[in-house]
Structures are given as structure tokens and as C-alpha cells.
Amino acid sequence: SLWEMPELERLALEECRGHVLDLGGGAGCHALELQSRGFQVKSIDASEGAVRVMEARGVQEVACHDIFRLAPEARKYDTLLMLMNGLGLVGTLDGLARFLSHARTLLAPGGQILATSSDISYLYEDEDGALVFDLNGPYYGEVEYTMRYGEQTGHLFHWLFADAGLVQDYAGEAGYEVEFLGEDEQQQYLVRLTLKELMS
């Protein structure tokens, strides 16, 4: 329910406008809340199981898609929603650049991306608070996961935890206005990326 959601997610739902595309919809809690407010919302997830759960829970428009394989549609979206560290769906820094370019084909003029991410640099702090990581290695927020349950092991997948400065740089380079809307005590933040109006 709405009141079980973290404050940043509730704020993101308040900031939604127009036709919404929920990327990485999971169990559909955000799409259901938006539907209850009268929004037209489509929710996608790469997991067929998640899609079945969303359909069973009453999400009206659901599809099984990888975010990079989502073809541009005739109808554009006013809001792309990426919650629960949803920016991580891009996987890597290269994926972030690809996604920001691809998102332009999905967004209506003046459209926005509302996303949460986290700065996990605190995991690399020594006892004095100095950051300790290999500057020549991959970005510290690029993480690889494998899910296991009992005897079952899933496929390896990449997840990106992007610090705010990095998002500012990549989004600015890709032609977005960047506005940070909030941060919580776990160093997770909510950002709004808005397509810059083209100069005529």
C-alpha cells in the first residue's frame, strides 16, 4: 500500500504526470497506486513471473520487456518511472548512456524520467572515512548479482548504483535538465530528468 512505500517513492508518485511508463514494475504496487489516482499507466518487467503477478493483481496494461528492447510507440509517455533503485536497470555506465538516448524515443516533448538510485561509496570507506577503491578498475557502483533460491540459481545480471554527480554528468550530456528531489538516510535519492526543449 501507499503508506508502506518509502517516502521517496511516495514523492515520485506525487510528481508523476500524464501517461506513465513504469519500468521494472515488479509486483505492480506503483502502477496500481497510479491507476487508483486515474493515471493511464503501462508497466513493464523483464520477468515473466512479475508480469503474471501484475496481471493477477489488476494492473491494466502490462508487458514483458527488457528496457533496451522496448520499441518506440506512436504514443509517447510523459513520465518514465524507475523506482526501488530503478535506475539500476541500466546495468552499467554504458547502459546508462544507452538508456538516456533510448528514452528520448519514448518520451513526449517535455517528458520526464523519475528515478531512484543510491551512492554506495560508503561501502568502500575505511575506518577513517577515506574511500578505498581501484581508480583504474570499473566504476564502484557497477555490481554483478546472481539470485539463488534453494537449488535454483539464476543468470548473472548487472546493476548500477549511480552517485548523484555521475547522473548529473551523464544526463546533462544526453540533453536532460537534472533536478534532485530528495534523499533518504540510506543515501538513496530521487532525481527528475526532463528533456530540454530544442531551440528553434
In this prediction, residue 107 has a pLDDT band, given cuts at 50, 70 and 90, of very high
17-59 confidence digits (pLDDT tens) = 999 999 999 999 999 999 999 999 999 999 999 999 999 999 9
Cα 153–chain centre separation: 25
Reply yes or no on domain 2-195 having CATH 3.30.43.10.
Answer: no
pLDDT at 198: 57
Give the chain's end-to-end CA distance (angstroms, integer). Answer: 45
Can you tell me whether residue 179 is helix, strand or coil?
strand
Cα(92)–Cα(97) distance, rounded to whole angstroms?
A: 9
Q: Check: pTM over 0.85? Answer yes or no.
A: yes
